[in-house]
Amino acid sequence: MITLQYFYFLAGALFAAFAVLSIGDGSNRKRLGNTAFWALLAVSFLGGSYIGDFANGLIVLALVVLGGFGLLGIGKPATTSPGERAESAKRRGNAIFLPALIIPAVAVLGTLYLKSFHVGGVPLVDGKQVTLISLALGAVLALLAAMIWLRPPAFAPLQEGRRIVDTIGWAAILPQMLAALGAIFFLAHVGDAVREIATRWIPLDLPLAAVCAYCIGMALFTIIMGNAFAAFPVMTAAIGLPLIVHKFGGNPAIMGAIGMLSGFCGTLMTPMAANFNIVPAALLELPDRNAVIKAQIPTAIPLLLANTVLMYFLVFRF
Amino acid sequence: MLTLLGVAVVVVGFLIRLNPLLVIVAAVFVTGWAAGLDPVAIIKAFGHAYNENRYVSGVWVVLPVIGLLERYGLQERARILIGRVHVATVGRLLLVYFIARQLLSAVGLTSVAGQAQTVRPLVAPMAEAAAEKRFGPLPEKTRWTIRAHAAAADNISLFFGEDIFIAVGSILLITASLRSSGVNVQPFDLSLWAIPTAILALLVHGVRLMLLDRRLARELKTQTPPAPEAAE
């Protein structure tokens, strides 16, 4: 059965290649830092399941030292010039989009159909991980198609991948780090502490006050945790269920749906949601790390207010 | 209450713009200490949590093929394509993308698009091209604004589309966490009640994108006086 482990091997091999190719990049003064960073990440992906929690912890700390103290540079792999790209774009026409479209096509088809394939009574793919595995499969198939069609130098895909990943730099592991931080918060019962404060200090004896506290609380707690999924169980157990549903007789489905979406308004406004807000800024080579958040706030705030109003008028009516 | 110190570390660390990786590690140690763990136990717990979340970084497997296609002019081709669509403006283009992404997410096809898969190689260059077509060469700041809006359109349309799909993670989380408190809700009801917000998100962001077009027209017209014909 194809499990997530295969996906980790694939990603690990890719990071190992980034590490090796970084050594020879004379244009990058800090190339040893890059090599060490991608090599450690490769070890984590290839061996993380086998080396134990403490070794994994030490790897993370080493990654943080390298990334946190500016020991990574930006490599300059040989690539095509803007002129060559323009010429190639003109010559190859819209066919250049096809390999890029293979990725989503395979991701969708794989998600829908791979689950039902069985080999000798065993499912071919682990059903719970089918989307990620399909995405990786799509990336591999798209790469194969592009290699056959374009016939680039053998190392070009790895070098081009390194060109992009170096512009992302340490931010490449930020989302994973934040997810791990969320797990530590959970372990330490941070949510319980927030609930205590919320229920002790906010006067919630009117339906409107409860709805406001719940929706705005979801957004604020999401801003702190970076993830509406972490905020939802806490805020719902603290305010949503005891007050909106049980005390004032609100509809739990409406409360849950709009409550979660209020949390998403918070996700749009926080650097803690790194994969949505910080990584794209790096991917698009924006000098301001918070540029994406700034573009989102003027939508997020009106939408949060709209959600609050919407919940107030719907939740006690249906 | 002591466990909240870790949250405070995160808030202060981000506010004074320290490197986020360092902030996270500091928060981990403070939180672990407040919860009564010794340093070795904290390193173990964090190593475990980090390892369990590797799938989050797995999305980078798409970079080689995206990079390779960029080498052969993917972004340039995206620009040419948009340059031919005469009615294209930044706002209209992003609005079309927004609607498509929201609809796809609503039927569960969330992984079809994304910041690495579509925004960097296609949507951002197309949006820039739409502006260039109208206003000529763009100042760098405008370019950055347009790119940030491309990323924002992707996020917002995803967030306020995906909850309409019954089998999405957040719907499962809502049902599971309500059920653990003895309240049963149907996933179908949850996705139904996600629709009003989805429509409002489209309206609010749609208006903002139209305002973006007007803002670009105002800013760039004053910057590059007459001679628009020469650009041909």
Instruction: Give the nearest partner residue to B62 out of A41, A63, A103, using CB atoms.
Output: A103
The pLDDT, as a whole number, for residue A186 is: 79
**DSSP annotation string for A78-124:** ----HHHHHHHHHHHGGGGHHHHHHHHHHHHHHHHHGGG-EETTEES
* Of B175, B161, B166, B195, residue with least CA distance to A256: B175
Instruction: Give the nearest partner residue to B44 out of A53, A142, A224, using CB atoms.
Output: A53
Contact (CB, 8 A) for A106 and A137: yes
Instruction: Give the nearest partner residue to A185 out of B6, B11, B152, using CB atoms.
Output: B6
Among A31-35, A131-135, A249-253, where is mean pLDDT lowest? A131-135
Below-50 pLDDT ranges, chain B? 225-232
A-chain residues near B154 (CB < 8 A): 280
Helix (H) or strand (E) holding B147: helix B140-162
Instruction: Give the nearest partner residue to A156 out of B71, B122, B196, using CB atoms.
Output: B71
The pLDDT, as a whole number, for residue B223 is: 59
pLDDT tens for A62-78 read: 999 999 999 999 998 98
Tell whether pTM > 0.90: no
The pLDDT, as a whole number, for residue A62 is: 97
Q: What is the average per-residue pLDDT within A113-123? A: 81
**Domain ranges (residues) in chain B:** 4-52, 61-231
The label of the residue with tokens 């198609």 reads A145
* Of B195, B188, B186, B190, residue with least CA distance to B160: B195
Q: Give the pLDDT band of residue A112 (cuts 50, 70, 90).
A: confident
Whole-angstrom distance, CA of residue A293 vs CA of residue A170:
19
Touching check for A19 and chain B: CB below 8 Å?
no
**Domain ranges (residues) in chain A:** 82-155, 189-315
In sequence order, the 6+-apart residues with CB closer than 8 A to the CB of A131 are A107, A110, A111, B111
A-chain residues near B6 (CB < 8 A): 184-185, 188, 190
The pLDDT, as a whole number, for residue B167 is: 64
The count of CB pairs under 8 A between chains A and B is: 419
Q: What is the average per-residue pLDDT within A236-242? A: 86
CB atoms near residue A315 (< 10 Å): 28
Instruction: Give the nearest partner residue to A89 out of B31, B73, B173, using CB atoms.
Output: B73
pLDDT tens for A128-178 read: 677 778 888 999 999 999 999 999 999 999 999 999 999 889 988 988 888
Contact (CB, 8 A) for A130 and B167: no
CA–CA distances in Å: residue A81 to residues A77, A87, A88: 12, 10, 11
CA triple A59-A288-B110, angle to 5 deg:
70
Mean pLDDT of chain A: 90
The pLDDT, as a whole number, for residue B226 is: 46
Interface of A with B in 29-88 (CB under 8 A): 41, 44-45, 48-49, 52-61, 63-64, 67-70, 79-80, 82, 84-88
The pLDDT, as a whole number, for residue A299 is: 97
CA–CA distances in Å: residue A239 to residues A197, A213, A256, A263, B177: 11, 8, 12, 14, 14
What type of residue is B195? I
B-chain residues near A274 (CB < 8 A): 20
Q: Which of B7, B17, B43, B68 to mutate to test the interface with A (most CBs of A within 10 A)?
A: B68
The pLDDT, as a whole number, for residue B222 is: 66
Q: Give the pLDDT band of residue A267 (cuts 50, 70, 90).
A: very high
- Are B112 and A254 inside 8 Å of each other by CB? no
Q: What is the average per-residue pLDDT within A269-285? A: 91
* Of B36, B44, B32, B173, residue with least CA distance to A184: B32
The pLDDT, as a whole number, for residue A126 is: 77
The pLDDT, as a whole number, for residue A175 is: 80
Contact (CB, 8 A) for A135 and A254: no
| Percent of chain A whose predicted confidence (pLDDT) is above 90 | 58
ipTM field: 0.84
pLDDT tens for A193-237 read: 877 777 777 777 889 999 999 999 999 989 988 888 878 888 888
| Percent of chain A whose predicted confidence (pLDDT) is above 70 | 99
Q: Bridge partners of A125?
A: A2
